[in-house]
Amino acid sequence: MQTDQVTSEIFPHNVQQTLDLIGIFVFALSGGLMAVRKNMDIFGICVLAEATALGGGVLRDLVIGALPVAAFTSFGYFPTPLVAGVVVFFLHPEVERITRTVMVLDAAGLGLFCVTGTIKAHTYGLGAVPSVACGMLTAAGGGVIRDLLAMEPPSLLRWDREIYAVPALVGSAVVAILIGMGRLTPLYASLAAVVAFAMRMLALKYGWRAPRAWHRNGSRTSEE
């Protein structure tokens, strides 16, 4: 298998598209719920749903030069978060009640998007390490934009949240290694996504967190 024939789709087109839209929908739900918590109106809910669901992919497409961005050209990408926004608007107590389910689906989206993001960056000519970075950006960038727009410290960067970047890193790295070995098949790509998904689920279940800097009792000088 020639690596330059790799596309950013790891499944048959229809399957890939359906999975993408499910992932986008779930990411959008988390954006919409944040907007409700922040007391935003219906338009704030939709803006945050869009930004959360599509932000990571938009950042990836911008830095790799895949313009116009897929968020605005792929079928269903843009309207889907609006549907999620309307769902949250009317049914947010119900959506809050199934937070557990939303988090499982969010972990699935994390797994899917870190894999497809890495592959897309590779197809645009990026090397292994930057492709991994793009995979992480795709999976985690939307959540950072969501938190910034809501004026919350980015949950990705907080030590007291279960690890999110690491599962994305692992999934992306597995894909990059497979590409490097010329062995990226749909099966292996799916397995990479499952690994990232499982790692995120385990992190949630067992409260895995990452270590903070050593010697935290160091002086707190004011920043330049």
CB of 187 to its own copies, least distance (A): 28
* Integer Cα distance of 196 and 5 in angstroms: 24
As measured in angstroms, the least distance from the Cβ of 78 to its own copies is: 5
Q: What SS3 string covers 66-79?
A: CCCCHHHHCCCCCH
Question: What does the block give as tokens for 151?
Answer: 């004026």
CB of 80 to its own copies, least distance (A): 11
CA torsion sign, 71 to 164 to 104 to 49? negative
Residue the block writes with tokens 């895995």: 208
Cβ closer to its own copies: 166 or 177? 166
CB of 8 to its own copies, least distance (A): 15
In the complex with its own copies, the residue whose CB is nearer, 7 or 185, is 7
Q: Which is nearer to its own copies, 40 or 194 (CB)?
A: 40
Nearer to its own copies, 10 or 87 (CB): 87
221: DSSP letter: P
Q: Which amino acid is residue 205, in one-letter code?
A: K
Q: How far is the CB of 73 from its own copies (least distance, A)?
A: 7
**Residue 20: strand, helix, or coil:** helix
By beta-carbon proximity to its own copies, the closer residue of 12 and 90 is 90
CA distance 161 to 181: 34
